[in-house]
Amino acid sequence: MATLEEEHQALLQFLYLAPVGLAQLKMDGEIVMINPLSAQLLMPLSRDGNLNNLFTALETIAPELRHLCASFNEPYGMICDAARLQVNAGIPGKSDPQMLSLTLLKLDAARLMAVISDVSLQVKRERQLQQHEAWLNAILQGMTDYALVPLNSDGGIEQWNESIERVSGLDAAGVYNRSYSIFFPEGAATKEGLADRLHEADQNGWSLQEGYCRRADGTRFWASTLITPLRIRGDNTAFTGALHVDLPEDHSYCLVIRDINEKREASESRRKALLCDHLTGVANRRAFFDAAELELSRMKRSPRPLSLVLFDADSFKSINDRYGHPVGDAVLRHFALMLQETFRQVDIVARIGGEEFAVILPSTSMPEAFAAAERLRAAVEASWVEIDGLRIAYTVSGGIVSADANVSSLDELIKRADAALYEAKEAGRNRIRTWHPGQARRLNMVMP
């Protein structure tokens, strides 16, 4: 019969040789025991080269972990199951984005167990499969709630049919010779973004999105919009599946709008679970990297302005130290709400670190981005957070960069915005700074 010491040694050997990263933690994230694979995955994320605390090591890519554990009141159970954590954006044409999977278990009142693995290749394959599945679903399901809209090579609507009126309420006069942007709410798309979808349909065979569409009376509904290139037949008609329409001889597309308003709640729940920050509700780090990479590739293919703003709540640690983490969380939620109210619907607002937020502004020049960032800064300075009878005032600083031909990757763009943000902090906080070549020496510095 095995002794307790032998069982202990067997457990340590299993921990050491396990094909996934394993770590035992205290409730505050302090690492008690960790196997080599976990150390290998986590060490590049550690700012100081130490692996004393899992929450600290993952703070830049999973700032919500402390909050999740602190708010889990059950005596034991699953805190998070295979949560996807985006580590970096990768290098286009050279390396794919790195993605970690984290499962966190509460064993008892004093212990946590973390299971960590690299799922970068799995995520890449999942995205490819989801694209194919989404395309088939959009064509084969819900055919009574669709609008079929023939588009010309510029995205203009040249024909009308009853399905358009059934879904959108627009008549022939309302759509003829107009851009397909009329189906979307104001501010939901830029001119360049509309052209991007046509190009992506040519490149990939389709362009699929979910979001709000607009009816003729101004009301909105949640819709799936699919754009596919149409194959021209010899008789100057084109087809998609079994649906045939008359088309001009030049290149053309089919826009399929499906009203999926009844599925919006389930769709939003899935989207929030995957792409939204747990605490603030804005996009999370993974969604930020995906959106920023897409916009950067669009800009390189078809040059247009593109700006990035990094914001940081000033002296946030002192707020947490003085008032406690619940007040700090309330400040972050307030800041996220003000960001959403200030920036456009087409802009991507994300929380990418503990108190650090990013905004991607498509088709936006540096002066335009500065004006928007300054509006946000002034609005925060003039406001406060009220919690438990306290009024907490705070300020924010921001760093802005606009992409140009010299920026080869998203990581480089972020470093430039970081350098501008560092300058804003160094100059006294509560201000906005823009990137300039004189900040190049700061690119490798760590923000205070």
- Catalytically annotated residues: 355
Q: Token pair of 35, please?
A: 């196997």
Whole-Å CA distances, 436 to 210, 305, 311, 409: 37, 16, 17, 17
The three-point CA angle 179-183-184 to 5° equals: 105
Of the candidates 168, 256, 262, which has an alpha carbon nearest to the alpha carbon of residue 207? Answer: 256
Q: Which amino acid is at 191?
A: K
In whole angstroms, what is the distance from residue 366 CA to residue 352 CA?
21
Q: Give the span between the Cα atoms of 98 and 42, in whole angstroms.
A: 12
Q: E strand or H helix at 80, and its extent?
A: strand 77-86
Q: Would strands 77-86 and 99-106 be described as parallel, antiparallel, or unpaired? A: antiparallel
Q: Give every CB contact of residue 338 below 8 A, 6+ residues apart in sequence.
A: 376, 379, 380, 383
Other C-beta atoms lying within 10 Å of the C-beta of residue 215: 14
Q: Which two tokens stand for residue 228?
A: 């596919």
* Joined tokens for residue 33: 């025991």
